[in-house]
Structure 1
Amino acid sequence: MNSAPGPLLADLTAKARATAHARASACPCGAATLADRPDGLVVRHADTVAKAHPPGTDPAELAGRLTLAGRHPGILLPPLDPVPVALHGRLVTFWPYGAPVDPEDPDAAPWEAAAALLARLHRTPAPRNPPMMRGPAKAAQAVARLREAGPHPAAASVLRAWATLPPWARAEAPMPRTGTLCHGDLHLGQLVRHPAPAGPWLLIDVDDLGVGSPAWDLARPAAWYACGLLPPDVWARILAAYREAGGPAVPAEGDPWPALDVPARALTAQTAARAVAKAVAAGRPLDEVEQSLVDACDRMAAVPPQLAQEHAK
């Protein structure tokens, strides 16, 4: 975990407290840090959450993403205010608290709900002049950090796999199918129940929200399935729920892999790049899951993307 600068954490907590008290005359006190990473510092006070977005976040693009979330409250958690504020050189937004997925109960993971929400988001008409979905850009950032991290035996495998991807998946060219509204970073940590604790599931985290290729939003579970990290029956449930909800990222019937292959490869390389960079920073060997991602990169490098659907079993 990266420790946030003291003044930022203290002042963000104070902002969350003030916003929470302004929303309710009787507010149970008590603050908690929910996330402390380079891509976001998140604190909670009672039923209010404050997030400091990554340094360099574009104010106009973030405001556009906040507006989108406010327009689709049945899919995305709406912000308390669609206008971010500045704090210590960071943009800050405020949100109602939602109950997250329980990491101690993987069998209860709401994959079907996530898939249905994605399908609804993908069917939502995009606004004029929308921001671009940032999935490929985030993958490219992860690979750049790997290159900067220092030597590691697994780095070459990740970089070889990355090199096989088409330019759009490496954020070097425009994405195809850019008329579809996408989340950009779907995983179980991006789901909350609101109102807590038993309201409907909603998507959170708008930092990567925008128009792009909808298959990217299915790429992480698809990649985990291809790497052997997600059981086949769980992947089948995700795919069935997405199709049942009319999601356009894959054909309604038949093999979905031609549509998912490139994004799934990109997410595999992205996740492996982060894992190797973290191992270098910590001076430790890769764990079993991290090694499985690197092994998948070796397999990817040996099979061109256009042939991958023949090997995705």
Structure 2
Amino acid sequence: MTPDALLPALTAHVRAAAHPHASPTTPCPCGAATLADRPDTTVVRHAGTVAKAHAADTDPAELALRVTVAARLPGTLLPPLHPTPTHLHGRLVTHWPYGTPVDPDAPDAAPWEAAAALLARLHRAPSPVAGPPVMRGPEKAARAVALLRATAPHHPATAPVLQAWSALPAWARGEAAMPDTTTLCHGDLHLGQLIRHPVPDGPWLLIDVDDLGVGVPAWDLARPAAWYACGLLPPDAWDRFLAAYRAAGGPAVPQDGDPWPALDVPARALTAQTAARAVTKAAAAGSPLDEVERSLVDACARMAPVTPLIPAAPPSPPS
């Protein structure tokens, strides 16, 4: 199926999922919307049902495990409507209840405390499945940098991004196993990954399990940490997020003292990933970097000559 044909097929699919006994030709007054339509992901809503077509290269066994984790950790992750992914013209499709997203036009009401508490709860939860997949954050960051290297090697902003990336340890570049192989992580935390369910004002829950798995929990704090370090997130919002994570017993950083030895490497990796995506997009469009994108590249230039902080190894468990 071509990308252009996927959206109408998924739209018909989610309508049938929402109304399994209705004729497809019966007029329907329900709310329907396309929530995302990208080469790697298409998400469509019909009434209270959301269908997501995952990337064409999604591993079926790993996605099934990730959906099972969501089903078994209600109150932290949004549970799926159906426990097993289905197929639609060569793409894996999952079904979820619709929830109220974060309002991007109300930054002062951003649920940083709720996001932090949910992350802490996830990081403290034992895996509810045997043999959980690996968290995909470093893998996705590596893909973004590889695409930059392949498509915009001569862009003036490419060199500082690649220099910052090359200074990272191998695990953060997706080239070696992560030093934590037991902690459940979301893998792609940002405010777009929270919804209220049930609508309109139920509790906040984490969504999007595509990158969920075991790994270094500091990766889940890295994007807000990077935004804070780049001046894109106000200090008050960062302080609230970090304090709420610590108050909830999150294990990614020490309960007091300097959090940056734990956060430095993941925050650098997320900065390089985000900058790589920005430069790739700007080069393809033939457009200049905007102020935010420029600040990310400038951060990479500052990071490159400074050795990343490496946290001390945790103490060995008592014998």
- Counterpart of 1:16, as a letter, is V
Distance 1:105 1:149 in 2: 36
Please name the residue that 1:33 is paired with.
34
Please name the residue that 1:175 is paired with.
178
Distance 2:105 2:21 in 1: 31
1:61 shift after superposition: 0.2
> 1:101/1:32 Cα in 2 relative to 1: closer, same or farther (>3 Å)?
same
**1:135 maps to 2:124:** no
1:102 shift after superposition: 0.4
1:22 shift after superposition: 3.0
Q: 1:20 touches 1:27 (CA, 8 Å); kept in 2? A: no
Secondary structure in 1 matching 2:5? helix
Please name the residue that 1:14 is paired with.
12
Please name the residue that 2:316 is paired with.
none
Please name the residue that 2:246 is paired with.
243
**1:291 maps to 2:305:** no
- In the TM superposition, what are the counterparts of 1:122-161 in structure 2 within 5 Å? 122-126=123-127, 127-150=129-152, 151-161=154-164
- In the TM superposition, what are the counterparts of 1:46-85 in structure 2 within 5 Å? 46-85=47-86
Please name the residue that 2:102 is paired with.
101
Please name the residue that 1:222 is paired with.
225
- Counterpart of 1:213, as a letter, is V
Distance 1:239 1:124 in 2: 19
Where do 5+ consecutive residues of structure 1 fail to align?
A: 309-313
**1:197 maps to 2:200:** yes
1:27 shift after superposition: 6.9
Q: 2:271 touches 2:296 (CA, 8 Å); kept in 1? A: yes
Distance 2:117 2:21 in 1: 31
- Counterpart of 1:13, as a letter, is T
1:306 shift after superposition: 2.5
Please name the residue that 1:110 is paired with.
111
Distance 2:175 2:89 in 1: 32
Q: 2:265 touches 2:310 (CA, 8 Å); kept in 1? A: no
1:307 shift after superposition: 8.0
Distance 1:307 1:90 in 2: 40
Distance 1:35 1:279 in 2: 21
Please name the residue that 1:5 is paired with.
3
Q: 1:192 touches 1:201 (CA, 8 Å); kept in 2? A: yes
1:288 shift after superposition: 0.1
Distance 1:225 1:184 in 2: 19
Distance 1:272 1:260 in 2: 18
Q: 2:185 touches 2:217 (CA, 8 Å); kept in 1? A: yes
Distance 2:121 2:310 in 1: 30
Please name the residue that 1:90 is paired with.
91
> 1:240/1:24 Cα in 2 relative to 1: closer, same or farther (>3 Å)?
farther
1:82 shift after superposition: 1.5
1:23 shift after superposition: 8.9
Distance 1:39 1:203 in 2: 20
Secondary structure in 1 matching 2:78? coil
1:228 shift after superposition: 0.8
Secondary structure in 2 matching 1:306? coil
> 1:154/1:12 Cα in 2 relative to 1: closer, same or farther (>3 Å)?
same
- Counterpart of 2:145, as a letter, is V
Q: 2:141 touches 2:273 (CA, 8 Å); kept in 1? A: yes
Q: 1:69 touches 1:79 (CA, 8 Å); kept in 2? A: yes
Please name the residue that 1:213 is paired with.
216
Over residues 153-190 of structure 1, what are the superposed CA-to-partner deviations in whole Å (9 max), with x where a residue is unaligned? Answer: 10001000000000000000000111100000000000
Distance 1:307 1:80 in 2: 41
Distance 2:192 2:102 in 1: 7
Q: Which moves more between the two structures, 28-37 or 202-211?
A: 28-37
Q: How many residues align?
A: 305
> 1:307/1:119 Cα in 2 relative to 1: closer, same or farther (>3 Å)?
closer
Where do 5+ consecutive residues of structure 2 fail to align?
A: 312-319
